[in-house]
Amino acid sequence: MTHMEGNSLLFLKIRSGSIDEAASDLRSRPEVTQVYPLLGHWDMVVSVNIPEYESLRGFTDQVEEKPYCERASFYPCFEQWTRETPSEAPITGWAMIRTTKTEETFKRLQEYEQVYWMTQTGGDYNIVVHMGARELNDLSTFITSEIHNIPGVTRTETYPSPSE
């Protein structure tokens, strides 16, 4: 069994009209620690406490079989970091980051007050970040002016979260 640290993430594309059903079903599962709605390519991100890779894959398969799920992509989490006292920001979002310098990027991101939580992960992206800002434009500016300028960052995908 491959063990991971903390919670892993499951990004979901939900069938039209099924967001409430999906959120309710997922929140009722004991493995699920949080459900965040998203805007963009993915409709929600689900934080799950499943420390074994094989069990996480099985959980993802079960969710993909649900009538509300169009597609799922899981991101096993390895090293995680959490800001002890995140600022109160009305706008939050998620950034998926591809970098050629994972450790350096991870350490650099810890310097930004906008970053609340992040993890190193496997998959198309090395790092997933949960962040906050006062306005949507500030979130966009943070991504384009700060994260894109970190040496080694080659690609990002950003998903604002309308409410939590």
| Structural domain boundaries in the chain | 8-75, 78-161
pLDDT higher than 80, residue 160? yes
Q: What is the pLDDT of residues 108-119, one digit of tens each?
A: 999 999 999 999
In the chain, how long is the greatest CA-to-CA distance? 43
pLDDT at 90: 86
pLDDT of residue 77: 85
Q: Is CATH 3.30.70.920 what the domain over 8-75 is classified as, yes or no?
A: yes
Task: State the pLDDT at residue 94.
Answer: 94
Distance CA 158, CA 146 (A): 13
Average model confidence (pLDDT) for the chain?
Answer: 91
Q: Which CATH architecture has domain 78-161?
A: 2-Layer Sandwich (3.30)
26-47 mean pLDDT: 95
Are domains 8-75 and 78-161 of this chain identical in fold?
yes
At residue 67, does pLDDT exceed 90? yes
The CA distance from 104 to 30, in Å, is 35
